[in-house]
């Protein structure tokens, strides 16, 4: 079971890295276009800001689960490092279980928020805001999946899975 979960998580992590890179490029290109058109040609487009906001929101909420998986999220290690090895593993499992709970809360609350925004549309482009808010429950599910993987493989305390693309 652990091997299957790791294979799935490896694939998901690579996909997320590629998506975040593409979203970051789209965000930077839309903002760059807006700046060039505004200051060089005195033309203001209504949509680049909304595109950049959507890409930024999705990329941040997709990179957060990778932080859980690869361990680059913020954490305090002073207490953990002073514990005996057995207690370090228990402490790490508890922290990872809390990450799973956080992912569940994000999924639940984000899902409700997304559902409540059902008929809303963005001001400039007019796209359904459900597409923007759906990043919350998607991020929650990914945090739960990656948190479960970390609970299973916590016996190697600081094993970091690289997602080089």
The distance from CA 118 to its chain's CA centroid, rounded to whole angstroms, is 22
Which positions of the chain have pLDDT values less than 50? 157, 159-162
pLDDT value at residue 161:
45
Domains of the chain, by residue range, sit at 2-152
pLDDT value at residue 155:
62
- Write the pLDDT tens digit of every residue in 50-96: 999 999 999 999 999 999 998 886 777 788 888 898 888 888 889 89
d(CA 9, CA 7) in angstroms, rounded, equals: 5
Q: Are 132 and 122 a contacting pair, CB within 8 Å?
A: yes
Give, in degrees to the nearest 5, the angle at Cα 83 between 67 and 146: 20
DSSP symbols for 13-56: HHHHHHHHHHHHHHHHHHHHHHHHHHHHH----SSHHHHHHHHH
Give, in degrees to the nearest 5, the angle at Cα 21 between 19 and 23: 65
d(CA 59, CA 61) in angstroms, rounded, equals: 5
pLDDT value at residue 24:
98
């Amino acid at each position: 079971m652990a091997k299957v979960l790791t294979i799935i998580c490896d694939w998901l992590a690579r996909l997320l890295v590629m998506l975040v890179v593409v979203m970051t490029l789209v965000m930077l290109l839309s903002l760059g276009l807006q700046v060039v058109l505004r200051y060089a040609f005195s033309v203001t487009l209504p949509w680049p800001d909304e595109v950049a906001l959507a890409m930024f929101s999705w990329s941040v909420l997709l990179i957060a689960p990778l932080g859980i998986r690869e361990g680059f999220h913020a954490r305090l290690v002073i207490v953990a490092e002073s514990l005996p090895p057995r207690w370090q593993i228990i402490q790490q499992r508890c922290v990872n279980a809390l990450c799973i709970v956080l992912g569940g809360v994000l999924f639940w609350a984000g899902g409700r928020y997304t559902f409540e925004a059902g008929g809303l549309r963005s001001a400039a482009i007019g796209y359904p805001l459900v597409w923007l808010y759906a990043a919350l429950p998607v991020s929650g599910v990914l945090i739960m999946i990656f948190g479960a993987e970390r609970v299973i493989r916590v016996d190697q305390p600081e094993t970091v899975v690289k997602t080089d693309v």
